[in-house]
Structure 1
Amino acid sequence: MQVRLSQPLTLRPRLALWTDGTSWTNWSRHEAYLRSQPKWKSHQIASITEESLRIISKTTPIGRPEFQCRGLVVGYVQSGKTANFTAVAARAADIGYRLIIVLSGIHDSLRNQTQRRLDLELAGVGVDWITLTDETTDFHEPAVADGFASTGTVLIVAKKITPILKRLNQWFGKLEGRLADVPVLLIDDEADQASINTRGNRRDPSIDMEIAPDDDTSPSLTNALIRDILRKIPRATYIAYTATPFANILIDPDASDNQVGEDLFPKDFVVQLPRPDGYTGTEELFGTSAQGRDVLRPVDPADVNALKPKQRKKSEAIVARGPLDLPQSLADALLTFALVGAIRLLRGQSGKPHTMLVHVSQLQQDQLRIGEAIKDQIRNWFHHENAEPGVLRHMFRSTLAGLGTVELPCAEEVVLEDAVTNLARLEVVVLNSTTGDELEYDVKPERQLVAVGGNRLSRGLTLEGLTIAYFLRTTSLADALLQMARWYGFRAGYEDLIRIWTTEGIAQWFVELALVEESLRDSITALNKAGRRPDQMAIRMRVHSKLLLTSKNKSRMQTDDARSWSGENPQTILFPLYDRELLERNVDLASELLRQHPPTQDAHGGAIAHDVPAEDIALFLRRYEGHPNSIAFQGAEIADWILGRAEAGELVNWTMFVANPQRERQVLLGGRPFGLVRRSLQANESIGILIDPRHEGVDLHGGPENYRVASGFNARAMRDERPARQGLLLLYPLDPEPLRAPTRAVLGLALSLPQTTDGKQRFVVNRGIRHD
């Protein structure tokens, strides 16, 4: 039931910061609820505990009089994002947020599903929650607009469509100026859908007098309404949730509209949720972890042509198609679904949903046609004159052979008998706005459900107990394809029963998507390890060879990222020779690094330290100060890149070499003397070339002598043969005298870098990101 607000706005006393003294009342009750549910394991609850606290700790402290916090949480498709933002909402209520709004997709089915869960797990067990929406009713303005209860947190779960957002916006318009004591958390679920601005931003007419008041550069409507709601709230936190964040990462970080304010770029934080225990995703089904798994089933091109509509020109009328004879591949998938359903029941998994996905076309007429064909086929199997139990068992015996090495819970004949029985239980639902069919897992949890659909099955909605997928839907967008993959999720007790019928081309798309996803998550992890905000360090995204990461109108800020140092030898040749303090700091920095990792070997004209962690190398490079006009060597950017490669399993082990010529002029580094390297000043604080080519081979098998050529040493061959996990940092303490520098030494740096996987692959970044 909807609760109407009746009390004036007041702020109940709460701690504004997440200190040890915070009373986590709502979170504790929510946690207790999770512990009471058998499906939640203790380590999963521990992960929710840690991640929700990590996210809430990254938000702006609500004690500030005004703030606009923007964040992004990246999960996995069907991986428990709702569980995470439920926990975050509980913690938000505990630290003082008075109003929590969840924008839950664009369909009633997803909004109702989310409302039901939050009512049960949050408002139903927490303290003083006031809900302005319920399972059947979306947001309507309260009877008393200016009123919150004297205690409690208000919860709204709303669809992300313009009529609802307009109601919210109008309500906040009436409250404007009276919200100083009401911190608001807005959680945007499926935040790459509808929320992204696909149009423009109106410039400030007081600055640009050429812009007419009625210019047509306004933001897209949904985006503008969300921004306008946030603009009206003095203390607002916006957290976007999605498994496909390409569009969110590519929002212009500087975009602002003169009427609705700044855009939704996650300037304050991006959090990558850990892969949940027991989760089955792209990596498990199509990536390196899929080796040895028997999941994919090819669909013959003739079957594709029978099911998918022919492309029609816009000028051609839509011709109604006759009844469909079910292709053999779809019939095989149906029989397999009935068979694995029987196996699940015999394994003791009764009373739990079991679902098959049939996703072929976005057109409703095709969905209806396929749904009827499936129903007809099931009837024919039972009513055909030869369809005796023995005939059906023989049919299932062939199907069982196609399952491979699945472990059966009992004798084969019992499984076959139960498969025939289960075939009769199958229910077919067509999920679109024409039919009005629903999944109804809550009221019919034991259903053996064949779900036929298109767009409603493309995002957010959970298909519980999904084992069999028949998937022919194509797209040009990586984010859309990942969202359509409803077979991802938790499959405890039946992971071995998952089978996917699709074309070889679509399967190859998913194989590459596993690499795209892995690269994205590595880059987000590198961002956080570097301690940088998303507006300070660009998140690098691997490009798919066949698909766009997201639609063109969501990726206008995309630009190629050439910042890979794969197989390169960056070195400092330009120095701030007149800045004594800076030069001295660099020498002290090298001395500190050598104390942490003292050399253990003297060879090849220098001292060598082995097994230096990538994190220490990156920190050193970030703190090293070069010439402000240097382009060839950017220490902070190289450090970010190294951390990103380390997350991918490359450049994790480093060697450090300090040149040590036998000279009287020396400098102390790390407590021991090193001879000063002599280089000549060329012009404008430049020395020309720093490195001795042979030094790039000091840590390779056989040393530099293995790479000697007539002209000297082949440094390129050294880098080509360097293991991808092994990097080399070269330190050159330069004699300041010929350089006319007022310091004890000028520290020169060089790197010898192996060929890394990103050097063979195109990456893109947001071109609007600044680098502090």
Structure 2
Amino acid sequence: MGSEARHCFTLKPKLKLWTDGTAWTNWSRHEAYLRSQPKWKAHQVDSVAEESLRILARTTPTGRPEFQCRGLVVGYVQSGKTANFTAVAARASDVGYRLIIVLSGIHDSLRNQTQRRIERELVDVGVNWLALTGPETDFQEPEVANGFGATGTVLVVAKKIVPILERLNRWLGKLEGQLGDVPLLLIDDEADQASINTRGNRRDPSVDEDEAVADESPSRTNELIRDLLRSCPRATYIAYTATPFANILIDPGAFDNHVGEDLFPKDFVVQLPRPDGYTGTEELFGVNAQHRNVLRVVDDNDVKALKPKRRKKGEPLVAHGPLDLPQSLCDALLTFALAGAIRRLRGHQAEPHTMLVHVSQVQKDQIRIGAAIEEQIRAWFNHDRAEPGVILGMLRSSLADLGQVTLPADVDVVLYEGHQNLARLQVVVLNSSTGEELEYDERPDRQLIVVGGNRLSRGLTLEGLTIAYFLRTTTMADTLLQMARWYGFRSGYDDLIRIWTTDGIAEWFVELSLVEESLRDSITALNKAGRRPDEMAIRMRAHSKLLLTSKAKSRMLELDARSWSAESPQTILFPLRDAALLERNLDLASELLIAHPPTHVAHGGAITHDVPAQDIADFLQRYEGHPNSVAFQGSEIADWIMERAVVGELVSWTVFVASPQRERQVLLGGRPYSLVHRSPSGNQAIGVLTDPSHEGVDLHGGPDRYRTGSTFNARAMRHDRPSSRGLLLLYPLDPEPLQAPSRAVLGVALSLPYTSDAGRSFMVNRGLLHG
């Protein structure tokens, strides 16, 4: 398959392709459904419309004879990713995708939730859909394998587990040779869970027939997903997740002899915009959290009471008696009853209201804690019957601890409703042993205390969540973010969110807000630079205490602490024997100077101000240095510049062309510049390119401000340089002493300010580090 078939295409031509002449039948009906729902605001539907079209436009047109497109969509935890991929599915059916498979997590609760939503919002209002799965029915092989004879789109919403994926593969295997006219869209929800290959890839045995090769097949779930895609000549894979560290770290060159290329998002990564009204890490733990009163610290003794020490192998079994709830969990329960009362008085009577209790992944602990919560609520009412007013007194204290909240009624009315609401609380222990479900659709007015572990850690939406009691620890950033079910949309009760946790976990989340921000900035920089993910590494800021993802998923991880903050990279090694390359560099400088002609002459050269970062990055991307150059990597520096520009740094540039008073000159951009003399210090190398005074040509007071005797303090110049402004230095070198076959040799240097990433560690996919 040629590169044209392998890769997706640039956005603008394809956007035109998708919009011209497409009858958006299913999308229009889906859009009309959304606009009819009171919870959807007009601008939110507009955003879904725009983003779904933007994503579809990054994929390969279905008219291509063969393609394997790989993409990644990054959202926020509980932020509307399902809404986005439902809209993408609607549009995909309109442009010719005839089979859409949604892999929705590894638990029935999430799969069933997704199936019901897609049926309600897409299938029931659309046309020509054939759903092979139901609200309570995962995929089973259809009696008639080939269901593609009629027009329309076949839909499957399946769990991402091996038995289900094997059924899907058997089904498509029976249609081998018949799928050429069946474009496949595979949407992988929670794509960093289970989908990542944590093993190897089988090599072609013909490469080294004499060597005995052990079984290096991919991990089974990954292998089955890749086989699904391989079975369809025209296939698009779109991964969805809010924690894409593992997806970004897939080996971009990985290939298995049986199931083909891996799931690295080589064609595109799309960052969904932060939704209006969304509450996330930044709001609860970042700089914007300072004005909130969200966190409540859980004492170490309370943690020990709820998380008893585990019995080591060989130790006698200790029988744990009934659990006395620690005061912090009692406080959280009373606050939850009050929050529910306030919501009901605000008019939210028929809306779900939930409290999260996530202490342990051990099911016995969850069942024990759930039983203790029920017993505690009964004990409060028994005490209140014996001593009337006790509950009201406790609630009054909890209301004071709640902090500044606008009450919808008089305090006594709120307290009375809180007393009533305490009796409404229902405990649901959510794990595979209990088999309980949330039943939000069937019983939307429930006041639920949800106690659980792993089933709460991925995808499942806790509707109306206000109070979280969270003690679960982990070693991985992506896992911790996914366990934080308190993120999402809290319209009308955003002020009621309270989180009980430890100081240590809170500190982890504070730093996670910076990790998330850095990742999203890097994705934005990738797209602003017009690069594909297989052309430019996405940099991920390291967390000081947590791994970004599991070690098994991060074998391609490499530390990349290369921030050029306060540095002055310069070219000292040149391809002096390549006349054509040297001329191309001169032409490149001419293009830049024609676009941004110098405005004045000073300090031994010509100066241009206010050049956009994008133009500087383009210049550095196209500048061709010596292939063995280590000190100056123009392409990598260009990528870093665009990353900094996203956060308001290095957005404006000065260009300085050195032009000493010498007779020998060269034309650049239609005007003459005197040549700079540099002596060779070795084979195709010089000693130092820059004149130290030049790093101050655009600073207040000029270079003389940094002069001591005959020396200039270039480091001080970089220290004083505003973080928003960089300096590009161009040196047209005299070719004669360098014995170069050209009009001049273009030397390039940069003077860079201190930036906010100074001294920070960043991680990248090592398969792209030098790409």
- Please state which band the TM-score falls in when normalised by the shorter chain: over 0.9
The equivalent residue for 2:90 is: 90
The equivalent residue for 2:77 is: 77
The equivalent residue for 1:411 is: 410
Instruction: Quote the Cα distance in structure 1 between the aligned partners of 2:120 and 2:639.
Output: 43
Instruction: Quote the Cα distance in structure 1 between the aligned partners of 2:629 and 2:19.
Output: 43
Counterpart mapping for 1:259-274 below 5 A? 259-274=258-273
The equivalent residue for 2:180 is: 180
Partners of 2:457 and 2:484 within 8 A in 1: yes
- SS of residue matched to 1:449: strand
Give the letter for the 1:110 counterpart: L
The equivalent residue for 2:382 is: 383
Q: Which deviations, in whole Å up to 9, do the C-alpha atoms of 1:620-651 show, x marking residues without a partner?
A: 11122222332221211110011011113322
Q: Quick check: 1:324 aligned with 2:320?
A: no
Gapped regions of structure 2 (runs ≥ 5): 1-14
Q: Quick check: 1:426 aligned with 2:425?
A: yes
* 1:598 Cα deviation after fit: 3.0
Give the letter for the 2:84 counterpart: N
Instruction: Quote the Cα distance in structure 2 between the aligned partners of 1:388 and 1:342.
Output: 23
Aligned residues: CA RMSD: 1.8
Instruction: Quote the Cα distance in structure 2 between the aligned partners of 1:198 and 1:673.
Output: 59
Partners of 2:557 and 2:766 within 8 A in 1: yes
Q: Quick check: 1:21 aligned with 2:53?
A: no
Instruction: Quote the Cα distance in structure 1 between the aligned partners of 2:241 and 2:386.
Output: 47
The equivalent residue for 1:136 is: 136
The equivalent residue for 1:307 is: 306
Counterpart mapping for 1:3-82 below 5 A? 18-82=18-82
Counterpart mapping for 1:405-554 below 5 A? 405-554=404-553
Counterpart mapping for 1:663-678 below 5 A? 663-678=662-677
The equivalent residue for 1:287 is: 286
Cα 1:761–1:16 change in 2 (3 A) is closer
TM-score of the superposed pair, with normalisation by structure 1: 0.95
Partners of 1:16 and 1:62 within 8 A in 2: no
Q: For structure 1, which segment, 692-701 or 584-593, has the greater mean C-alpha deviation from structure 2 after superposition? A: 584-593
Q: Paired residues, what number?
A: 757
The equivalent residue for 1:761 is: 760
Give the letter for the 1:198 counterpart: T
Partners of 2:383 and 2:390 within 8 A in 1: no
- SS of residue matched to 2:468: strand
Partners of 1:367 and 1:454 within 8 A in 2: yes
The equivalent residue for 1:652 is: 651
TM-score of the superposed pair, with normalisation by structure 2: 0.95
Instruction: Quote the Cα distance in structure 2 between the aligned partners of 1:613 and 1:496.
Output: 41
Instruction: Quote the Cα distance in structure 2 between the aligned partners of 1:695 and 1:234.
Output: 58
The equivalent residue for 1:6 is: none
Q: Quick check: 1:392 aligned with 2:379?
A: no
Instruction: Quote the Cα distance in structure 2 between the aligned partners of 1:292 and 1:598.
Output: 48
Instruction: Quote the Cα distance in structure 2 between the aligned partners of 1:532 and 1:317.
Output: 60
Instruction: Quote the Cα distance in structure 1 between the aligned partners of 2:587 and 2:749.
Output: 17
Give the letter for the 2:601 counterpart: D
Counterpart mapping for 1:92-241 below 5 A? 92-210=92-210, 212=212, 215-241=214-240
Give the letter for the 1:53 counterpart: L
The equivalent residue for 1:719 is: 718
Instruction: Quote the Cα distance in structure 2 between the aligned partners of 1:186 and 1:103.
Output: 8
Instruction: Quote the Cα distance in structure 1 between the aligned partners of 2:509 and 2:563.
Output: 25
Q: For structure 1, which segment, 143-152 or 164-173, has the greater mean C-alpha deviation from structure 2 after superposition? A: 143-152
- SS of residue matched to 1:479: helix
Q: Which deviations, in whole Å up to 9, do the C-alpha atoms of 1:140-196 show, x marking residues without a partner?
A: 101011232411100000001111111111111111111111111111111111111
Instruction: Quote the Cα distance in structure 1 between the aligned partners of 2:604 and 2:387.
Output: 87
Partners of 1:381 and 1:387 within 8 A in 2: no
Partners of 1:519 and 1:541 within 8 A in 2: yes
Q: For structure 1, which segment, 182-191 or 641-650, has the greater mean C-alpha deviation from structure 2 after superposition? A: 641-650
The equivalent residue for 1:359 is: 358
Partners of 2:384 and 2:391 within 8 A in 1: no
- SS of residue matched to 2:57: helix
Q: For structure 1, which segment, 381-390 or 415-424, has the greater mean C-alpha deviation from structure 2 after superposition? A: 381-390
Instruction: Quote the Cα distance in structure 2 between the aligned partners of 1:286 and 1:267.
Output: 33
Partners of 2:563 and 2:759 within 8 A in 1: no
Partners of 2:335 and 2:398 within 8 A in 1: yes
Partners of 1:478 and 1:549 within 8 A in 2: yes
* 1:202 Cα deviation after fit: 1.8
The equivalent residue for 2:562 is: 563
* 1:542 Cα deviation after fit: 0.9
* 1:388 Cα deviation after fit: 5.1
- SS of residue matched to 1:626: coil
Give the letter for the 2:254 counterpart: A
The equivalent residue for 2:8 is: none
The equivalent residue for 2:3 is: none
Cα 1:16–1:523 change in 2 (3 A) is closer
Instruction: Quote the Cα distance in structure 1 between the aligned partners of 2:384 and 2:680.
Output: 96
Partners of 2:141 and 2:171 within 8 A in 1: yes
Q: Which deviations, in whole Å up to 9, do the C-alpha atoms of 1:229-265 show, x marking residues without a partner?
A: 2121111111111111111111111112222222111
* 1:210 Cα deviation after fit: 4.3
Q: Quick check: 1:575 aligned with 2:585?
A: no
Give the % identical residues: 76
Instruction: Quote the Cα distance in structure 2 between the aligned partners of 1:554 and 1:212.
Output: 26
The equivalent residue for 2:698 is: 699
* 1:725 Cα deviation after fit: 2.2
Instruction: Quote the Cα distance in structure 1 between the aligned partners of 2:386 and 2:740.
Output: 95
Partners of 1:192 and 1:244 within 8 A in 2: yes
Partners of 1:203 and 1:211 within 8 A in 2: no
Give the letter for the 1:482 counterpart: L
* 1:671 Cα deviation after fit: 4.1
* 1:139 Cα deviation after fit: 0.5
Partners of 2:676 and 2:734 within 8 A in 1: yes
Q: Quick check: 1:622 aligned with 2:625?
A: no
Partners of 2:361 and 2:454 within 8 A in 1: yes
The equivalent residue for 1:12 is: none
* 1:16 Cα deviation after fit: 13
Give the letter for the 2:623 counterpart: Y
The equivalent residue for 2:5 is: none
Instruction: Quote the Cα distance in structure 2 between the aligned partners of 1:655 and 1:407.
Output: 52
Q: Quick check: 1:370 aligned with 2:369?
A: yes
Give the letter for the 2:185 counterpart: L
Q: Which deviations, in whole Å up to 9, do the C-alpha atoms of 1:689-721 show, x marking residues without a partner?
A: 110011112222332223223561121222233
- SS of residue matched to 2:381: helix
Cα 1:240–1:596 change in 2 (3 A) is same
Q: For structure 1, which segment, 163-172 or 652-661, has the greater mean C-alpha deviation from structure 2 after superposition? A: 652-661
Instruction: Quote the Cα distance in structure 2 between the aligned partners of 1:275 and 1:26.
Output: 26
Instruction: Quote the Cα distance in structure 1 between the aligned partners of 2:232 and 2:16.
Output: 17
Cα 1:476–1:64 change in 2 (3 A) is same
Partners of 1:567 and 1:719 within 8 A in 2: yes
* 1:424 Cα deviation after fit: 1.1
Instruction: Quote the Cα distance in structure 2 between the aligned partners of 1:348 and 1:665.
Output: 82
Instruction: Quote the Cα distance in structure 2 between the aligned partners of 1:141 and 1:207.
Output: 38
- SS of residue matched to 2:758: helix
Instruction: Quote the Cα distance in structure 1 between the aligned partners of 2:315 and 2:136.
Output: 41
Partners of 2:650 and 2:724 within 8 A in 1: yes
Partners of 2:339 and 2:496 within 8 A in 1: yes
* 1:574 Cα deviation after fit: 1.9
Give the letter for the 1:109 counterpart: S
* 1:558 Cα deviation after fit: 0.8
Instruction: Quote the Cα distance in structure 2 between the aligned partners of 1:657 and 1:348.
Output: 64
Give the letter for the 1:165 counterpart: L
Partners of 1:707 and 1:713 within 8 A in 2: yes
- SS of residue matched to 1:723: coil
* 1:602 Cα deviation after fit: 3.1
